[in-house]
C-alpha cells in the first residue's frame, strides 16, 4: 500500500498504540490519540445529531 504524506507506517503506529496501552502516553479514557499524544477530535465528532445517526446505523447493521 502506498503511504500518503499524512500516513504513519505500521511500525510507528504499532509503537504509538503500545505506548497508549502501556500507559507511556497519557490519554484519559475516551481520548483521541494522534501520533503519540492525546488531542481533541474534530468538531464533527462532538455533534449530537451525527452521533445519533451513527448509533442508529450501528443498530441497523447489527440487528439480528
Instruction: Tell whether pTM > 0.75.
Output: no
Please list the pLDDT of the chain residue by residue as tens digits (64 residues). 676 778 888 999 999 999 999 999 998 887 888 888 899 888 888 899 999 999 999 999 999 7
Alpha helices (runs of H) in 1-64, residue ranges in sequence order: 10-21, 48-62
Amino acid at each position: 500500500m502506498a503511504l500518503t504524506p499524512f500516513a504513519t507506517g505500521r511500525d510507528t503506529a504499532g509503537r504509538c498504540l503500545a505506548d497508549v496501552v502501556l500507559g507511556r502516553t497519557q490519554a484519559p479514557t475516551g481520548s483521541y490519540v494522534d501520533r503519540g499524544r492525546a488531542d481533541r477530535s474534530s468538531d464533527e465528532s462532538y455533534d449530537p445529531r451525527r452521533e445519533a445517526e451513527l448509533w442508529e446505523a450501528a443498530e441497523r447493521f447489527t440487528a439480528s
